[in-house]
Amino acid sequence: MSKLEKVTEAVIAGEVEQVADLTQEAVDAGEEPSKIIKEGLIAGMDIVGTRFKANEMFVPEVLIAAKTMHAGMEVVKPLLTEGESSSTGTVLIGTVEGDLHDIGKNLVIMMLEGAGFEVIDVGIDVPAKEFIEAIKEHKPDILGLSALLTTTMPAMEEAVAAVEEAGLKDQVKIMVGGAPVSKEFAEEIGADGYAPDGSTAADLAKEFIA
């Protein structure tokens, strides 16, 4: 089994203590941090997602796997940001109202930070008015909205509409993402862009700033 496969297996098995050592071993072996994230840690969470869907894994195991993935991320995260001397721009990001999922959002944050962005994380279950208050306070270049449930996609639309109503649309670019979200939906609700994953989100954020 390769070092990255061991990382993947540790995430699936919820080996919180082991994952940090295995991730460090992959780092020491010269694996690229982004490759460790994508082909080790995220790969594990992808399998967990598939098994959860097939009722082969259940909520407590999924939560432990997520915690395990985070423990591995803690090892790689400082390496991602290494060498980035100045901030590329500021992204304010949160999961929309009614939605408690944050694993994907946190991955997007890591990729954004890795690309040199300063990230303000406003958390989960964030109502539109809180996004507006936070935009006024922090004046980010980009607003990132995450939704993992089809039932919370309307809240994403409400957040975009609230930005327009508050007259802030010229000040921030809006990027949306999350499993049920699509490019078409992003266009429909008036967002400036859609990213299917963390690395695309970082690329899109760079395009917005350029």
Residue located via tokens 């840690």: 41
Tell me how many helices (H) and strands (E) the chain has.
Answer: 10, 5
Given the complex with ligand B1M, which of 6 and 104 has the nearer CB atom?
Answer: 104
The answer to whether 122 contacts ligand B1M (rule: CB under 6 A) is no
Question: How many angstroms separate the Cα of 67 from the Cα of each of 61, 99, 148, 200?
Answer: 10, 18, 18, 24
Given the complex with ligand B1M, which of 18 and 49 has the nearer CB atom?
Answer: 49
Given the complex with ligand B1M, which of 29 and 32 has the nearer CB atom?
Answer: 32
The answer to whether 101 contacts ligand B1M (rule: CB under 6 A) is yes
Rounded Cα gap, residues 67 and 73, in angstroms: 10
Structure tokens at 100: 């408690």
The answer to whether 6 contacts ligand B1M (rule: CB under 6 A) is no
Given the complex with ligand B1M, which of 3 and 140 has the nearer CB atom?
Answer: 140
Closest CA to 16 of 67, 76, 63, 73: 67
For the four alpha carbons of 184, 186, 187 and 192, in that order, the dihedral sign comes to negative
Closest CA to 127 of 99, 101, 166: 99
For residue 146, give the 3-state DSSP assignment: strand
CB proximity list for 9: less than 8 A, separation 6 or greater:
1, 15, 44
The answer to whether 100 contacts ligand B1M (rule: CB under 6 A) is yes
Q: Min. distance of Cβ 199 from ligand B1M in angstroms?
A: 8
The answer to whether 208 contacts ligand B1M (rule: CB under 6 A) is no
Residue from the set 180, 187, 190, 207 that interacts with ligand B1M by CB under 6 A:
180
CA angle 19, 20, 22 (to 5 degrees): 60
The answer to whether 103 contacts ligand B1M (rule: CB under 6 A) is yes
Residues of this chain, 31-60, that bind ligand B1M according to CB under 6 A: 42, 45, 49, 52-53, 59
Cα 146 to its chain centre, rounded Å, is 8
Residue from the set 26, 71, 108, 191 that interacts with ligand B1M by CB under 6 A:
108
The answer to whether 189 contacts ligand B1M (rule: CB under 6 A) is no
The answer to whether 156 contacts ligand B1M (rule: CB under 6 A) is no
Residue from the set 144, 157, 163, 192 that interacts with ligand B1M by CB under 6 A:
144
Q: Which residues bind ligand B1M (CB under 6 A)?
A: 42, 45, 49, 52-53, 59, 62-63, 66, 93, 98-105, 107-108, 144-146, 148-151, 175-180, 195, 197-198, 201
